[in-house]
Amino acid sequence: MLSFKSASARVVNTKRGVIECMEIALGNQYNDCDLAIFHASIGHNFSELITQAHEMAPNAKILAASCCGVVGREGVSESMKDIAVMTIKGNEFTVAHVDGIFGHNSYEKCLEMSKDLKARSGKINMIYFLASGIDIANDDCISAIESVFGSEVTIFGATSSDNMKGFISYQAVDNIVYEHAAFAIGFWDETLKVETQATHGFVAVGEPMIVTKSEGHIIKEINHKPAWEEYLTKLVLPTDSTCGDSIPVGALGEKLSPKLAQEYGNNHILRVVTKHVGSEMYYATKCPVGTELWLTSRDEELIFSEMERMVNEMKKRLGDRKTVAVFHADCLARGRFLFNKIIKEELVNTMQFPFYSDGNCPPWLGMYGFGEFARLGGANTYHNYTTALYVLYR
């Protein structure tokens, strides 16, 4: 039976940050760790991180990903020096990974990874998936994983990020740090189940733009004009703007069916652009010609009301079952990096407090990344600009 512990800290020195997190989570019982999953802000040295983690827990599998801040039991922090860990004790899991994953080969790479994962265990019933957040077709990742495990296996997780610049993100597996990798943790603890849900709180504005030329996840023309330039024009941004300039204000909405919209609490699912090459925009999923894309505006009141609604719905589904651990993926544009407007501590308290037991927050590992995986309409789905909660329970 798997058991979970977590910790988070804001420490400038990477080695000291790892030590502090491991000591908070495990005391001095480092052998109580068979897997350690780290999220660390882009200011940390990831080679030092995994070296220190291996020194403290030499028998554990070590995984890590870069982010733009963390959320843990201790609260929320969005600095360049945040670090958090979820430690897992037990043997009902396995890990597989691939390097060199990009938008054009996302399906093939995730298929390779999924086959490797299944070869290690045929009992897997849920998968934590984390991939590079830049230049990746996330719907293809889901399709590939489901082709091996079926759609009934829940996929939850995130895509790694930097400090909202869209320059680089890191993933680490054991002793190697990657820039375009993906890893998956397959769980098969029969006593453990997972509930997932996501919400954003942005509203569509104006008339939609039309994708008039595209190839896979690359948008080449919008409204019969070069895509990147037309996108910037609609955002009223200068022509020399970067992805880092567009991400805070440039969430793009795709309209949902009425049924999905009712469940989601919003008429649109959002997408982010984390890379552009010349006039070509690199979308987070495939974007066929004819797709309608709405610009959107963040609604603070809706963010809070939909968060409360989502958490209440999850609690109803959980009933009196015990929350064992919570994994959490949040879009960096929902935090202070977007105009420094939202009271982040209040929002995090809104999502965490309902899962408390005897006055204590469960083990919690959250990150601010470029995208989130959670079910919608009963299907594994990729999201952007959301808060996504993954509650593991017995």
pLDDT tens, 76-93? Answer: 887 889 999 999 999 999
Range of the domain at 247: 202-298
Higher pLDDT residue, 148 or 350? Answer: 148
**Interior angle at CA 383, CA 367 and CA 112, nearest 5:** 85
311 and 183 in a common domain: yes
Query: Which of 298, 326, 355 is at the close of a domain?
Result: 298
Query: How far, in Å, CA of 226 to CA of 230, rounded?
Result: 6
236 and 99 in a common domain: no
Are the C-beta atoms of 19 and 85 separated by less than 8 Å? Answer: no
160 and 34 in a common domain: yes
173 and 34 in a common domain: yes
Token duo for residue 141? 């990742």
Residue found by looking up tokens 């802000």 in the block: 41
Are the C-beta atoms of 161 and 188 separated by less than 8 Å? Answer: no
Closest-CA residue to 348 (of 127, 141, 71, 134): 71
Contact partners, residue 92, CB within 8 Å, separation at least 6? 1, 2, 123, 187, 188, 189, 190, 192
Please report, rounded to a whole number, the percentage of residues in the chain having pLDDT higher than 70: 97
Mean pLDDT on 33-57: 97
276 and 185 in a common domain: no
| Total of domains in the chain | 2
Per-residue confidence (pLDDT) for residue 376, from 0 to 100 = 98
189 and 275 in a common domain: no
Q: Is the pLDDT of residue 223 over 90?
A: yes
Residue found by looking up tokens 């890590």 in the block: 64
Query: Which of 274, 298, 322 is at the close of a domain?
Result: 298
Query: How far, in Å, CA of 228 to CA of 294, rounded?
Result: 15
Closest-CA residue to 342 (of 332, 334, 352, 331): 334
Per-residue confidence (pLDDT) for residue 338, from 0 to 100 = 46
Per-residue confidence (pLDDT) for residue 333, from 0 to 100 = 64
Per-residue confidence (pLDDT) for residue 341, from 0 to 100 = 43
87 and 12 in a common domain: yes
Per-residue confidence (pLDDT) for residue 152, from 0 to 100 = 96
193 and 137 in a common domain: yes
Query: Per-residue pLDDT tens for 289-316?
Result: 999 999 999 888 898 899 999 999 999 9
Specify the pairing of strand 193-199 against strand 126-131. Answer: unpaired
Are the C-beta atoms of 322 and 394 separated by less than 8 Å? Answer: yes
Q: Is the pLDDT of residue 335 over 90?
A: no
3-class secondary-structure state, position 299 = coil
Per-residue confidence (pLDDT) for residue 343, from 0 to 100 = 57
Per-residue confidence (pLDDT) for residue 344, from 0 to 100 = 66
Per-residue confidence (pLDDT) for residue 300, from 0 to 100 = 82
Q: Is the pLDDT of residue 164 over 80?
A: no
Are the C-beta atoms of 34 and 88 separated by less than 8 Å? Answer: yes
100 and 166 in a common domain: yes
Q: Is the pLDDT of residue 317 over 90?
A: yes
320 and 281 in a common domain: no
Token duo for residue 1? 């039976």
Predicted structure pTM score:
0.95
Per-residue confidence (pLDDT) for residue 334, from 0 to 100 = 62
Per-residue confidence (pLDDT) for residue 114, from 0 to 100 = 98
Token duo for residue 162? 């930097």
Token duo for residue 125? 């019933």
288 and 214 in a common domain: yes
Query: Per-residue pLDDT tens for 176-186?
Result: 999 999 999 99
Are the C-beta atoms of 323 and 352 separated by less than 8 Å? Answer: no
Please report, rounded to a whole number, the percentage of residues in the chain having pLDDT higher than 90: 87
Query: How far, in Å, CA of 204 to CA of 322, rounded?
Result: 38
154 and 57 in a common domain: yes
Specify the pairing of strand 35-41 against strand 154-159. Answer: unpaired
Per-residue confidence (pLDDT) for residue 331, from 0 to 100 = 83
Query: How far, in Å, CA of 295 to CA of 167, rounded?
Result: 23
Q: Is the pLDDT of residue 337 over 60?
A: no
Q: Is 378 exposed, middle or buried (0-12, 13-18, 19+ CB in 10 A)?
A: exposed
Per-residue confidence (pLDDT) for residue 340, from 0 to 100 = 47
Query: Which of 298, 328, 352 is at the close of a domain?
Result: 298
Residue type, 224: H
Gyration radius (Cα) of the chain, Å: 20
Closest-CA residue to 130 (of 202, 219, 45, 40): 40
pLDDT band at 268 (very low <50, low <70, confident <90, very high): very high
